[in-house]
Structure 1
Amino acid sequence: MWLLLFNPTSGGGKGRRYAEQSLTLMRERGHEVMEISGFDFRDAEAKFKAAVSAYRDQIKAVIVVGGDGMVHMAIQQLAGSNIPMGLVAAGTGNDFARALNLNLRDPLSSLELMLNNEPVKVDLGKVNDRFFADILSTGFDSVVNERANRMRWIKGRMKYNIAILLVLSTFKPKSYRFRVDDIEFTTEAMLIAVSNGQSYGGGMKVTPEARIDDGLFDVMLLGPVSKLEFLKVFPKVFSGAHINHPAVKIIRGQKVTIDSHAVAYADGERIGELPITAEISAGTLTTWRN
């Protein structure tokens, strides 16, 4: 039996559409599929957790139809198990789909990948007993997330664009106490990203050389820059060219501890206030990739 987990509101309705198409295709091929959704994120999470617990020995694989939020939900139950997770990218950002090199223009092609290929092992990050698939971050982008989450009257990506402008006008670098494996230091930074994958925010390649199968985090630190310089550097993150800026430093390691008066987010979900310790969990997720 296959489980199909989907968010009906994901990607402005793409989640429901791709879920229905996925169900049709899988059943036409003769596969038994149980669909799981909910009236909100927490309801779907509870139903998925219950289904995995009840049918663990009967589940051939889980198909996640949605974005990075649904991936984040699914990996909490599937990490370290023998149940593979396939992904039909139907979210707004789809950054884990990018990490898996899936075809974002033809999300349903992932079903053929699942049906015709063996799954592989990839890494996840783990922080505060929660797994994350892509990137944990703190600093400017976390403050933007906090501000955007309070702007309930604006929907979609526009609220994040507005939040960026509002936060940038008053944002100041913070002092962080840092440890990467055996290296300890204190630094001022505008943004810190602890990366398993390459991108977040819908294709921002904050750590363009990160790999999800190398057993390492790529940790990006953006040091203090002026607001004008930040606006110059920011667009380069979509190509990954920002790593050549003198204020950007990349460190690799397996275990990262960060402490400051700040909050952290991972896969777009609020993790909580610092201090936090993130560890790479090598080969803990079974999935399909191109």
Structure 2
Amino acid sequence: MWLLLINPTSGGGRGAKVGAEVARYLVSNSIQYSDISGSSFESARTNLRESLSTTVNGVIAVGGDGMVHLVIQELAEKKVPLLLIPAGTGNDFARVLHLPLDNPTMVLEKALSSAPTHVDLGRVNGTFFAEVLSTGFDSIVNERANRMVRITGKSKYYISMLLELPLFKPKSYKFRIDGSDFECKAMLIAVGNGSSYGGGMKVCPTANMTDGEFEVMILHEVSTFEFLRVFPSVFSGAHVKHPAVKILRGKEIEISADAVAYADGERIGALPIRAHVVQSALLTWTF
């Protein structure tokens, strides 16, 4: 028996269409499943937690990074695998796993004919995350974007970025990585278990989900003009060549500042935060 979770509103409604396609595939191939989607993320998580008390083949999650964030809270450090069918706006976890973003049947066929593999997760203040934990400018952008109700999709994040950039001041950070202490003024600190966030921005380009370490990207103070000039290079990961960028690596990190943090696009809360790598915490499929 497989458990099926669908976020019908992900990807501007694409989740509902992809979810129906997945259900048809399962029925046509006589694969037993139970749809536990629920009416909200909260009810879906409750349904998942309760359903895991029985023996299941795995969890098929149709949605984006928000759905991934929900599911891993229940599947982390368990032997039940996650089969992700990407249908979100950013799909960063799917990108790192090299999943086809527009071919649910291919993903299903691969998963049903091969064994899953282990990947690392991060854990911050008790919450698991799959991709990137960050604080600084991008968190401020998220705060503004989340207050927007009339604008949806990626547009609200780009608009928020343009509105916040002229107002933003670098923060004074204190942080510790594997016992070594650092202090600096920074515009952004990103802690990558995976390499990308924001729909393909390779903010921690060489982060690897199977090496037991975080890649920590620190962007020191730059002018507004310089930020806008360099920003496009984050999609290729070339921003790390800029002299204002520093890359560190470690298994544990503590960060303190007058700032907030987000992980996988979800609000973690005000700093201080403490995060560590949980090795081989999740079973899933990669391409």
Which category describes the TM-score, using the shorter chain as reference length? over 0.9
Counterparts of 1:70 and 1:119, CA distance in 2? 19
- Is 2:193–2:213's contact at 8 Å kept on the other side of the alignment? yes
In the alignment, structure 1 residue 286 sits paired with structure 2 residue 283: yes
Name the structure 1 match of 2:187: 190
Aligned to 1:190, the other structure's residue is in SS state strand
Name the structure 2 match of 1:59: 56
Counterparts of 2:164 and 2:49, CA distance in 1? 37
Of 266, 271, 275 in structure 2, the residue corresponding to residue 269 of structure 1 is 266
Alignment of 1:66-145 (within 5 A): 66-145=63-142
Q: Deviations over 1:38-80 (max 9, x none)?
A: 3222222222222223x2xx21110111000000000000001
Name the structure 2 match of 1:176: 173
Counterparts of 1:139 and 1:248, CA distance in 2? 14
Name the structure 1 match of 2:38: 38
Any gaps of 5 or more consecutive residues in structure 1?
Answer: none
Task: State TM-score, norm by structure 2.
Answer: 0.98
Counterparts of 1:60 and 1:107, CA distance in 2? 18
Aligned to 1:108, the other structure's residue is in SS state helix
Counterparts of 2:156 and 2:95, CA distance in 1? 23
Q: Deviations over 1:224-274 (max 9, x none)?
A: 000000001111000111010000011110001000000000011000100
Name the structure 1 match of 2:26: 26
- Is 1:7–1:38's contact at 8 Å kept on the other side of the alignment? no
RMSD: 1.0
Counterparts of 2:155 and 2:283, CA distance in 1? 35
- Is 2:194–2:209's contact at 8 Å kept on the other side of the alignment? yes
Task: State TM-score, norm by structure 1.
Answer: 0.97
In the alignment, structure 1 residue 16 sits paired with structure 2 residue 16: yes
Q: How many percent of aligned residue pairs carry the same amino acid?
A: 55
Name the structure 1 match of 2:210: 213
Once the 2 structures are TM-superposed, how far is the Cα of residue 105 of structure 1 from its aligned partner?
3.2
Q: Deviations over 1:174-213 (max 9, x none)?
A: 0000111021110110001000111000000001111110
Once the 2 structures are TM-superposed, how far is the Cα of residue 27 of structure 1 from its aligned partner?
2.2
In the alignment, structure 1 residue 257 sits paired with structure 2 residue 247: no
Name the structure 2 match of 1:3: 3
Once the 2 structures are TM-superposed, how far is the Cα of residue 19 of structure 1 from its aligned partner?
1.2
Any gaps of 5 or more consecutive residues in structure 2?
Answer: none
In the alignment, structure 1 residue 201 sits paired with structure 2 residue 212: no
Letter in 2 for 1:28: S
The number of residue pairs the alignment matches comes to 287
Name the structure 1 match of 2:48: 48
Counterparts of 1:82 and 1:256, CA distance in 2? 27
